[in-house]
Amino acid sequence: MTESPAVRTPDRSGPVRLGECAARTLVSELARINIPKAALLVGAAPKSAVLAAAIEAMLPGDTLTVVPAERVSAATLREHVTAQGRWVAERVRVVDSLAEAEVAAVVIAAEALTGTADQARTTIGTLTKFLADGAVLSVATAVARTAGAAAELDRQGVLYGVGNDLVLRNNPPVRVYRLRFTPADAAAAEQLAPAYRPSSVPLSRDMHIDSNGVAAAGIALGLAALTRLARPKSKLWLVPALAAVPVAAFFRDPERDVPEDPTAVVAAADGQVLSVQRLTDERFGDSEFLRIAVFLSVLDVHVNRSPVAGKVVDYFVADGGFVNAMKPDAEHNVAAYTVLDTIHGTVVVAQRTGLIARRIVQRAPVGTLLARGERFGLIRFGSRTDVYLPAEAAEPLVGPGDKVIGGSSVIARWR
């Protein structure tokens, strides 16, 4: 038998099972890199959902090194890999121990971290030795059963996190952390596809509901149930019950076909173009920007997508009012600014509140690499999204009154 010391963190509550959804989330960084790369999977077993997801995520030119779990023999794991066929066997290498592994662009812990904070810290410290410059470590822990490990991962996430996802469709629920300990080049974002996000719950192949919508609909149905219990003879419970469907619809999250053209700048949100203008904003430097403002009505999709490929280098919220987002004064509303470094210069996305919209969600921490068209947040119940582009580098392709589709419509092109 071989040992996998990097993930040997026993927990009295027993091992944490990682199902298909959690596995897909764990390997999302591997799946989104569109150039040949080396990956390392630590703590795998023949029937591991994470191993299956990692193999499925591989592209031609990729290599995957696999370290067996603590109670799994390397010979058994090699036999399993060989049985997957020649294509897999040529690209997946099973080693006897972690000491035989080399640095990789993506390192994945196939087993959820459990045990104490010290054990989790030791595990992370061991795995970081195998990260190439700018590489990502992907790890998971159960949110309810492993307080020590979860606390340590929360701490590491604050210091080095470039994203985390809560996977409720796992028993028990787990949180997946993506950690980057050395800076990544903004140009690397050009080689990425939009990441898989479990925060988007699938209803069909082409339509999802953001987790905020699931929660809001659940609250509405809960109120309906409580009202029915409190007043069984009244039909008042129908009000929140019937409201659950339109509330969930507000958070619909359809799949979008992102243009492959590297010169394309896509809309950050669905809606109507309010204005296209050149301006300067001292918060983002002395250069002139081309700002394209899009109004989102309550009927539009509220999920926001990155208009370009780039690296999040700053994020801040500016205080202000809650004016109707269609009015010029909405420029001074409360807004969240996500600043991206790109190969073309600084790009900024402003998520603005409105008369009804008061809640902004941003899920891309500083250091995150975003692909063009990738989901990074949402504004609850409409409002306005502005895209700032370097004026001398971009040519606008839309004008006031045009309708655009987030992630798909090309609003500008790089010169």
Catalytic residues, which ones? 383
Taking only Cα atoms into account, the Rg of the chain, rounded to an integer number of angstroms, comes to 23
Using an 8 Å Cβ cutoff, are 403 and 384 in contact? no
- Alpha-carbon distance of 104 to 65, in angstroms, equals 9
Q: Comparing C-alpha atoms, which of 23, 133, 88, 70 is closest to residue 78?
A: 88
Count CA atoms within 13 Å of residue 55 on its CB side. Answer: 24
Q: What is the dihedral of CA 271, 272, 275, 279, to 10 degrees?
A: 10
Joined tokens for residue 305: 């997508």
- Alpha-carbon distance of 215 to 197, in angstroms, equals 16
Amino acid (1-letter code) at residue 223: L
ω into 172 cis (within 30 of 0) = yes
The strand ranges marked E within 261-414 are: 264-266, 271-280, 288-296, 303-305, 310-318, 335-342, 345-352, 360-362, 369-370, 375-379, 383-390, 394-396, 403-404, 410-414
Q: Comparing C-alpha atoms, which of 26, 15, 72 is closest to residue 51?
A: 26
Amino acid (1-letter code) at residue 224: A
Q: Which helix (H) or strand (E) holds 221?
A: helix 211-230
Using an 8 Å Cβ cutoff, are 96 and 78 in contact? no
Amino acid (1-letter code) at residue 385: T
- Alpha-carbon distance of 163 to 137, in angstroms, equals 11
Using an 8 Å Cβ cutoff, are 193 and 34 in contact? yes
What sign has the CA pseudo-torsion 80, 84, 87, 92? negative
Q: How many helices (H) and strands (E) does the chain have?
A: 9, 24
Do the strands 264-266 and 410-414 form a parallel or antiparallel pair, or are they unpaired? Answer: antiparallel
